[in-house]
Amino acid sequence: MNWMTVAWPMVTATCLTLALIHLRIATGESRRAAHLFFTFSAIAVAAISVLEAGILQSQDLATCQKLLRWSSLPVVVMVASILGFVGSFFGTGRPVLAYASITLLTIAHLVNFFSNAPAVRGAAALRHAETFGNIKYTLPVITRGPWTYAEIAAVVLAIAFVADASWAVWKRGERQRALIVGGSIVFFFLVSRGHTMLVEEGIVHSPYFVSFAFLAVIFAMGHELSGEVFRATRLSRELQESERRMDLAAQSANLGFWTWHLAKDEIWVSETTRELFETAPTEKINFARFVASLHPDDREQVTQAITHAIDSGSEYEKSYRIHLPRGGERWIVARGKVELSPQGKPLRMRGVLMDVSAQKLAEAELLQLRQQLAHAGRVSMMGQLASALAHELNQPLGAILRNAEAAELFLQAPQPDLQELRAIIGDIRNDDQRASQVIDRLRSLLKRQDIDLLPLQIPTLLDEVLALSRADATARGIRLEMASSPELPAIRGDRVHLQQVLLNLIINAMDAFHGLEREEKVVKVTSSHNDPGGVEIRVADNASGLPEKRESAIFEPFFTTKAHGMGMGLPISRTIVEAHGGTLSASNGENGGAVFSICIPAAQGLE
């Protein structure tokens, strides 16, 4: 055994192994063409290597000529598949150069293969030579035919194609790839063709080394291709990882995925989607099957929304109910997008869906709760109205009762004073009318209807209120005082409502003297200018002052310190004042009693 008997078979074996590996990869999805071209070039180089080894060992001229002729075929396949590889792997280059090269080479070698006289090259005689290590081998004396120049032209075109394609890749920024694949192909084309020429010119006496030169090219191509394979493997691992993460996220968000291939009418769904629809893992789903799972009331709407999305290329979003095979239903919200082909034809629809039954239930509960609240609100408003009425009517009813009692007393006299009786009856009528006004106004206020705002002069308002409460004050031994600053601006207000507020404050002040010993019991009602340009009405007493530590609670509904109080007077008064754009506040005065202050803005242009 010598190195020559080992070298060529090794080249053959290496090429065949690589060819097999890439043939296997080519059956996968990615870069199919590049792997196939690589496989063919590797097989071709293996075949060239077998033939070269055969020539070296050939004993007679006829065998050598035969082997030389047969080498035409793998040479054409090798060049064609290397060019094919470059074209498909780089995706660049001018195809015309490649086709011209392959056509020229194919014709030259076909002629060489079929003609009796050598068209490209042939063996005229055999020479026996010896190389280092005293290894004997046979060398053909080559005669060249006219088609040799066609072969040279084909090689030049091939080099031009590869150089051009590599230059484009270099410019794209993939310099290493351009250099390794493009550079090595150009280099070894030149080396191998140059060496062949030197051998054929008789300048160099050595065997052909075409297969050795192209073994390097095969390695370069294989290196880049396997780099791709490694990258693809890494990417697929990363993809799996990201898919796992996505699955986890989708599962925790209860998100299901779906893809509908429109042409095949096949719907792929994720595991979560299957669980949501309760479909068997093996069951095939198409659009009709999907529609059948929908609630009958939702079928048309959903179908319409999907058809519209496909026709218009817009997004689809819909919530619908589905019937579950094991009974019951589920609310689903789904979103989807149509994917179009480069020609704008809808290919598939892809989307997500989610179970929103819990939210829908909560929404329904919320609606029910809202209705209950609205009902409760109405009930409480009625309660408020009733309390307010009872409170506000107390005063006129009390006055009516007192006047009726007084009338009875007058009637017991032998000669009843008819004039006095008439006055009493007049008062009763007035109080009665006021009571009915109170009812109307309060009702409208609680219904949040607009109050009846009219220009009002403060002194007149205060006079009316004092006239209403004077009798009560006298009966309780309380002095009512009134003082108004001159030239107060007019305000816009509802007379009856504001009378009601002031009466409340005055009666509260008088009530505050209950059980108290005072030399002088005084309730002072004063009105004055207030910043900016408004009016302040104060009701001050010298009684007990506001309930200790509950100063702010007095405006809360139902807060009362009185045995028969209702705690509605102040909250209603504050509502009324605020409806006039003013404020009602309370504090303790300097002389120990309470001071209530009403601030109301002046009516524009009415001073």
Contacts to ligand ADP by CB under 6 A: 504, 508-509, 512, 541, 543-547, 554, 559-562, 565-570, 594
3-state class (DSSP) for residue 597: strand
> Cβ(366)–Cβ(395) under 8 Å?
no
Question: Residue 561 Cβ, how far from ligand ADP at the closest point, in Å?
Answer: 3
Question: Residue 510 Cβ, how far from ligand ADP at the closest point, in Å?
Answer: 8
Sign of CA dihedral 167, 173, 175, 181: negative
| CB closer to ligand ADP out of 493 and 593 | 593
Question: Residue 542 Cβ, how far from ligand ADP at the closest point, in Å?
Answer: 10
| CB closer to ligand ADP out of 273 and 597 | 597
Beta bridge partners of 88: none
Question: Residue 591 Cβ, how far from ligand ADP at the closest point, in Å?
Answer: 12
Beta bridge partners of 339: 348
* Residue of closest CB approach to ligand ADP: 569
> Cβ(165)–Cβ(182) under 8 Å?
yes
| CB closer to ligand ADP out of 192 and 508 | 508
| CB closer to ligand ADP out of 68 and 568 | 568
| CB closer to ligand ADP out of 367 and 386 | 386
Question: Residue 381 Cβ, how far from ligand ADP at the closest point, in Å?
Answer: 18
Question: Residue 523 Cβ, how far from ligand ADP at the closest point, in Å?
Answer: 9
Q: Give residue 116's identity as a one-letter amino acid code.
A: N
Residues 168, 172: Cα–Cα separation, whole Å: 6
| CB closer to ligand ADP out of 67 and 478 | 478
| CB closer to ligand ADP out of 44 and 572 | 572
Q: Give DSSP secondary structure letters for 65-87.
A: HHHHHHTHHHHHHHHHHHHHHHH
Please choose, from the candidates 13, 110, 93, 8, the residue with its C-alpha nearest in 3D space to the C-alpha of residue 57: 8
- For tokens 């035919």, name the residue: 145
Question: Residue 585 Cβ, how far from ligand ADP at the closest point, in Å?
Answer: 12
> Cβ(313)–Cβ(340) under 8 Å?
yes
| CB closer to ligand ADP out of 73 and 512 | 512
Sign of CA dihedral 35, 38, 44, 49: negative
| CB closer to ligand ADP out of 129 and 566 | 566
Question: Residue 508 Cβ, how far from ligand ADP at the closest point, in Å?
Answer: 3
Question: Residue 513 Cβ, how far from ligand ADP at the closest point, in Å?
Answer: 9
> Cβ(227)–Cβ(180) under 8 Å?
no
| CB closer to ligand ADP out of 222 and 593 | 593
Please choose, from the candidates 215, 217, 105, the residue with its C-alpha nearest in 3D space to the C-alpha of residue 152: 105
| CB closer to ligand ADP out of 303 and 560 | 560
Q: Give residue 367's identity as a one-letter amino acid code.
A: L
> Cβ(485)–Cβ(528) under 8 Å?
yes
| CB closer to ligand ADP out of 7 and 393 | 393
Question: Residue 567 Cβ, how far from ligand ADP at the closest point, in Å?
Answer: 4
Residues 546, 276: Cα–Cα separation, whole Å: 65
Q: Which helix (H) or strand (E) holds 296?
A: helix 296-312
Q: C-alpha distances in angstroms, 485 versus 528, 557, 571?
A: 5, 33, 28
| CB closer to ligand ADP out of 183 and 398 | 398
Residue 393 CA, chain-centre distance (Å), reads 60
Question: Residue 436 Cβ, how far from ligand ADP at the closest point, in Å?
Answer: 22
Going by their DSSP bridges, the two strands 522-530 and 534-541 should be labelled as antiparallel
Question: Residue 534 Cβ, how far from ligand ADP at the closest point, in Å?
Answer: 23
Q: Give residue 98's identity as a one-letter amino acid code.
A: A
Q: C-alpha distances in angstroms, 607 versus 97, 216, 457?
A: 102, 109, 9
Residues 388, 566: Cα–Cα separation, whole Å: 9
Q: Give residue 403's identity as a one-letter amino acid code.
A: N
Number of residues that make up the chain: 607
Please choose, from the candidates 503, 533, 532, 509, the residue with its C-alpha nearest in 3D space to the C-alpha of residue 586: 509
Q: Which helix (H) or strand (E) holds 194?
A: helix 184-200
Question: Residue 371 Cβ, how far from ligand ADP at the closest point, in Å?
Answer: 32
